[in-house]
Each structure stands twice: as C-alpha cells, then as structure tokens.
Amino acid sequence: MNPEMKQDKLDSILADEQELVPSSGFLARVMEQVQEEAAAPAPIPFPWKRAIPGIVLAAGVLGWGAVETVRYALHARFDLALPRFHFAAGSTTSVEQAAYVVGALAVSAAAWMLARRLAGRSGLL
C-alpha cells in the first residue's frame, strides 16, 4: 500500500471526527476540586529534631564498622593492626564490669523513655 494513500485515509478519518465537548457540570466539578485543594492545610513538616539522634547514631555505627573493617583488612592483608587500648591486668575486670553496668543503664533508660512516650500518647499519664 502506498504511504500517501494511508495518509489520505488518516486525514479523512480525522476530518470526520466530531469535536469533543465536556459533559455538563464538568467545569464546576473541576473548580470545586481546585478550591478544595487550595483550602487543604499545608503538609506536616518532617520531624528533623526527632530524626537527628537516629541519624547520628547510624552514622556512628557505620563509622565504627568502617574502622573495624579497615582494622581487620590491615591485619589480614599485611599483618598490621591499628593500635588498641591496653589496660593493666588488675583493672581489666573492673572496666569490663563498668561497661556492662553502663550498657545496662543505657538500655534501661531507653526502655523507660519509650514506655513513657507510649503511655503519654495514650493518655494514661
């Protein structure tokens, strides 16, 4: 088939097509929706003050993981190691015990703060 014939058929089909007219009430519905959108309250902003501690914690954990990965890679590849802290033999057990106590206090404080926040939102306090 000749491309000019296809174009002629297409032109005749498009010429016979009737003009599109919106249904009655269409403009009114659209304007109503636009007014509702304009009257809607602004979106709630992101709570950066609450997110920053989590971001800082995540960055610290990732940084610590990177340091440990480099330390492991240096030790495995070149038999080198980053300097470690050494304590006297007598003070090691007391430092370990203190670290466990501090860790337990931190977990307890976090659980208590979470419980207070949840109970405060529910109206129990």
- Per the model's pLDDT, the better-predicted residue between 116 and 79 turns out to be 116
DSSP state string for 41-80: PPPPPP-HHHHHHHHHHHHHHHHHHHHHHHHHHHHHHHS-
pLDDT digits (tens, 9 = 90+) for 7-53: 888 888 777 777 777 788 898 899 999 999 999 888 888 888 889 99
Give the pLDDT of residue 49: 87
pLDDT digits (tens, 9 = 90+) for 57-109: 999 999 999 988 888 887 777 766 556 666 666 655 677 788 888 999 999 99
Domain ranges within the chain, ordered by starting residue = 52-84, 88-125
* pTM of the predicted protein model: 0.36
What separation in angstroms does the CA of 122 have from each of 49, 109, 116? 22, 20, 10
Give the pLDDT of residue 23: 83
What separation in angstroms does the CA of 39 have from each of 28, 33, 36, 43, 112? 16, 10, 5, 12, 41
Helix, strand, or coil here: 85? coil
